[in-house]
Amino acid sequence: MGENLARKILKEHLVEGELVPGREIAIRIDQTLLQDATGTMAMLEFMATGIPRVKVGLAAQYVDHNLLQTDNKNADDHVFLATAAQKFGVHLSKPGNGVSHQVHLERFGVPGTTLLGADSHTPTAAGLGQLAIGAGGLDVALAMAGYPFHLTCPKIWGVKLTGQLQPWVSGKDVILEMLRRHTVKGGVGKIIEYYGPGIATLSATDRATIGNMGAELGATTTVFPSDDNTRAFLEAQGRGDVWRELSADADASYDEYDEIDLSQVVPLIACPSSPDNVVPVSEIEGLKVDQVIVGSSVNSSFRDLMTVCRILEGRRIAPGLAFHINPGSRQVLENVVAHGGFMMLLLAGGQVHQPGCLGCIGMGQAPGTNQVSLRTFPRNFPGRSGTKEDRVYLCSPETAAAAGVFGVVTDPRKLSELLPWPDVKNPDRYLVDDAGIQAPPEDGGPVEIVTGPNIVPFPEFPALPDQLDVEVIIKVGDNVSTDTIMPAGNKVLPFRSNIPAISKFVFEQADPEFAIRAAEKGDGAVVGGENYGQGSSREHAALAPRYLGIRVKIAKSFARIHRSNLINFGILPLVFKDPADYDRIKQGDRITIPRLRELTESGATEIPIRVDGAEIVTLLNASQRERRELVAGGLLNTVKEENHG
Ligand code: MIC
């Protein structure tokens, strides 16, 4: 039986364990990616390891999330990152150079290698046949320090693509179809591998779109083969030399299967406020739209933006509608300018912004209360836009442009009444300009790291106590995202390098008193439903609750990255053995966990807890390595112990 591609790449990088789904493995990491919102903390963590210079093939630091400079805070972070990058041997992509995912695809990604990124949408690099995984900042910091990355060996889910997308339908509709079928939990514990004859009809950037939003399915990552389209993209970037052909063996098998006939995919849209709330665009046609945003984390490539330009060419944005464009990179913007697209957008009445994440992480572009906003972004969790009562829909660039023209949600295929399908391709040769990228000097020794007042050192955490006796500070439901635990947006993001300050915002949307109550008690527990902590990789959603004293979270199930982040910072992720026991705990209950330390150390899976006198059995599904970290009070404590004896 032949091998699938995901297993081939994993095998080439395997340093510990066996490729058996569910078991812990460790893989060698070739490249790392940090962005500023997660990267300031990750860089502080890298510094805490005491290792003088990164030990990976390539480390990149992007500044793309916190571009607003309304006071010293973000600016302090930028200077810190710029100097730390120089010191430790990291390539810096400066503010305005673009979104990490798009720039990495353009300038750094290499087929068949591994990339670990402190951003859940790192799998965008699947567009190049790279095995790219999102992780918490500390995991990436340790990969930069040369440590392998530990993960639970995923199942490989083969999704066969046949047929060809019809005019006005694009990569975004394919991933929305996956979300429609499988929900935000459908990919948990799996790598999605696309194969089959339909692949050849998708460009590297279409594949990148599909890879990006595999994160919304909860998948560990996504892989695509590296073929002639991959080579064409790399050659157009002047990087043809890094191309290598990669595919599954013809008789490869998968742990699970699905199939999509691309010819049957229709324009789809995710309704408020979850990426899996997907319906055909035609079902909600006629809904008045107030705002459209194209670009940011996903759908910000040349092909995507130029498609919108062509649709808007010679037309006007519908009255009363705001139409924003967030280019994925400076390179995308320059190429769109060179092809005349910028003028088309301006004449249509569009607002073109600097390349960056912007509204995608709630940094500007917030819609008005109850206004309908159509975005090509990957996420629409409640309030993420910055507006509490938001109504955010996720769609393709074609659907976004159709709304721009008609002012209401419109199936983009209706545009064929106005113009032929533009069928935009990426350029054969991009204009390449690396002015926004700063390579590190050979010797970082003389570089001084600048730490302004917003850069607060990583907090120290004590080891696990023998037993816990804590109150349930909050109880939440299913699919709670990290946006709910640790909000995005311009009020909060500037504190990403300052844990004491950011901890005041934990669960702010769900319960504004949470942080005060937790801090008063000095310790506590959180109870959650299924898929607790889905979404962003931000470790602040573990780190800040830990700072407030949360030592245990009990849920029906946890999202992969958040679970690792909890362990990294010494919070026990316990799972109800019987999910029905979720109903037996309420906010304010007292939880006692006797012999906690001993049970954690001994490898016990069942951890009985007492809730106001009654017993509930919970499970600690953790490897010995993870248990050591939990007992030590967090991963950094174990690393420090190892390095200093
Ligand atoms: C996101 O899309 O949610 C983000 C913003 O890119 C995050 C990173 C962050 O919170 O800084 C992610 O996906 O990991």
Interface predicted TM-score (ipTM) of this complex, two decimals:
0.95
Say how many domains are in the chain: 3
Active site includes 546? no
State whether the beta carbon of 297 lies less than 6 angstroms from ligand 1: yes
The closest residue, in CA terms, to atom 7 on ligand 1 is 536
State whether the beta carbon of 361 lies less than 6 angstroms from ligand 1: yes
Domain final position from 231, 264, 297: 264
Indicate which residue of 28, 538, 546, 563 is catalytic: 538
Sorting pLDDT into bands at 50, 70 and 90, what band is 365? very high
Same domain membership, residue 473 and residue 607: yes
For 407-445, how does the pLDDT look when each residue is reduced to its tens digit (9 = 90+)?
Answer: 999 999 999 999 999 999 999 999 999 999 999 999 999
The closest residue, in CA terms, to atom 5 on ligand 1 is 361
Residue 117, in any domain of the structure = yes
- Looking at the DSSP bridge assignments, the partners of residue 159 are 194, 258
State whether the beta carbon of 41 lies less than 6 angstroms from ligand 1: no
For 461-497, how does the pLDDT look when each residue is reduced to its tens digit (9 = 90+)?
Answer: 999 999 999 999 999 999 999 999 999 999 999 999 9
The CATH number assigned to the domain holding 334 equals 3.30.499.10
Residue 379, in any domain of the structure = yes
The closest residue, in CA terms, to atom 9 on ligand 1 is 538
564: enclosing H helix or E strand: helix 560-568
pLDDT at 253: 98
Active site includes 538? yes
Indicate which residue of 28, 65, 104, 496 is catalytic: 65
Active site includes 589? no
Percent of the chain with pLDDT strictly greater than 90: 97
Residue 29, in any domain of the structure = yes
Same domain membership, residue 358 and residue 224: no
State whether the beta carbon of 104 lies less than 6 angstroms from ligand 1: no
State whether the beta carbon of 94 lies less than 6 angstroms from ligand 1: no
**What crossing angle do the helices spanning 100-107 and 330-338 adopt, rounded to 10°?**
70
Active site includes 385? no
Sorting pLDDT into bands at 50, 70 and 90, what band is 373? very high
Distance 560 CA to ligand 1 centre (A): 14
pLDDT at 534: 97
Q: Is the pLDDT of residue 569 over 90?
A: yes
Q: What is the mean pLDDT of the chain?
A: 97
Same domain membership, residue 83 and residue 154: yes
Percent of the chain with pLDDT strictly greater than 70: 100
pLDDT at 213: 98
Q: Average pLDDT for residues 182-197, to the nearest whole number? A: 98
Reading the block at residue 416, the tokens are 């064929």
Query: For 372, phi and psi rounded to 5 degrees?
Result: -90, 125
Choose one of 62, 67, 361, 483 to mutate for the ligand 1 pocket test, by most ligand atoms within 8 angstroms of C-beta: 361
Sorting pLDDT into bands at 50, 70 and 90, what band is 453? very high
Atom of ligand 1 nearest to the CA of 134: 14
For 519-566, how does the pLDDT look when each residue is reduced to its tens digit (9 = 90+)?
Answer: 999 999 999 999 999 999 999 999 999 999 999 999 999 999 999 999
Distance 38 CA to ligand 1 centre (A): 8
For 9-37, how does the pLDDT look when each residue is reduced to its tens digit (9 = 90+)?
Answer: 999 999 999 999 999 999 999 999 999 99
State whether the beta carbon of 172 lies less than 6 angstroms from ligand 1: no
The closest residue, in CA terms, to atom 1 on ligand 1 is 536
Residue 41, in any domain of the structure = yes
Same domain membership, residue 317 and residue 404: yes
Atom of ligand 1 nearest to the CA of 35: 11
Nearest by Cα to 632 from 565, 561, 571:
571
Domain final position from 347, 382, 417: 417
Indicate which residue of 30, 36, 76, 119 is catalytic: 119
Q: Is the pLDDT of residue 645 over 70?
A: no
Residue 240, in any domain of the structure = yes
Choose one of 34, 36, 38, 484 to mutate for the ligand 1 pocket test, by most ligand atoms within 8 angstroms of C-beta: 38
The closest residue, in CA terms, to atom 3 on ligand 1 is 536
Reading the block at residue 520, the tokens are 């008063």
Nearest by Cα to 200 from 175, 165, 235:
165
Task: Quickly list H helices, 444-559.
Answer: 482-485, 499-502, 514-521, 540-548
Same domain membership, residue 295 and residue 255: no
State whether the beta carbon of 125 lies less than 6 angstroms from ligand 1: no
Q: What is the pTM of this model?
A: 0.98
Indicate which residue of 182, 379, 413, 563 is catalytic: 379
Residue 426, in any domain of the structure = no
Residue 44, in any domain of the structure = yes
Same domain membership, residue 244 and residue 369: no
Q: Is the pLDDT of residue 215 over 80?
A: yes
State whether the beta carbon of 119 lies less than 6 angstroms from ligand 1: yes
Q: Is the pLDDT of residue 512 over 80?
A: yes
Choose one of 66, 99, 119, 505 to mutate for the ligand 1 pocket test, by most ligand atoms within 8 angstroms of C-beta: 119
Atom of ligand 1 nearest to the CA of 493: 11
State whether the beta carbon of 537 lies less than 6 angstroms from ligand 1: yes
Q: What contacts 537, CB < 8 A, 6 or more positions away?
A: 38, 117, 118, 119, 120, 122, 134, 135, 136, 137, 482, 561, 565
Domain final position from 247, 264, 281: 264
Alpha-carbon radius of gyration of the chain? 23
The CA distance from 294 to 525, in Å, is 40
Q: Is the pLDDT of residue 457 over 90?
A: no
Q: Average pLDDT for residues 494-514, to the nearest whole number? A: 96
Q: What percentage of the chain's residues is helix, strand, coil (to nearest 5)?
A: 35, 20, 45
Residue 178, in any domain of the structure = yes
Atom of ligand 1 nearest to the CA of 538: 10
Q: Is the pLDDT of residue 82 over 60?
A: yes
Q: Is the pLDDT of residue 1 over 90?
A: no
Q: Is the pLDDT of residue 314 over 80?
A: yes
The closest residue, in CA terms, to atom 12 on ligand 1 is 536
pLDDT at 602: 97
State whether the beta carbon of 496 lies less than 6 angstroms from ligand 1: no
Same domain membership, residue 98 and residue 209: yes
Reading the block at residue 62, the tokens are 């992007």
Q: Is the pLDDT of residue 576 over 60?
A: yes
Q: Is the pLDDT of residue 90 over 90?
A: yes
Same domain membership, residue 521 and residue 406: no
The CATH number assigned to the domain holding 636 equals 3.20.19.10
The residue range of the domain holding 157 is: 5-264
The CA distance from 596 to 589, in Å, is 18
Same domain membership, residue 546 and residue 398: no
For 294-306, how does the pLDDT look when each residue is reduced to its tens digit (9 = 90+)?
Answer: 999 999 999 999 9
Same domain membership, residue 412 and residue 286: yes
State whether the beta carbon of 37 lies less than 6 angstroms from ligand 1: yes
Q: Tally the C-alpha atoms within 13 A of residue 500's C-alpha that lie toward its C-beta.
A: 8
pLDDT at 226: 98
Distance 213 CA to ligand 1 centre (A): 12
Active site includes 379? yes
Sorting pLDDT into bands at 50, 70 and 90, what band is 67? very high
Q: Is the pLDDT of residue 613 over 90?
A: no
Active site includes 536? yes
pLDDT at 644: 65
Same domain membership, residue 191 and residue 52: yes
Same domain membership, residue 352 and residue 237: no
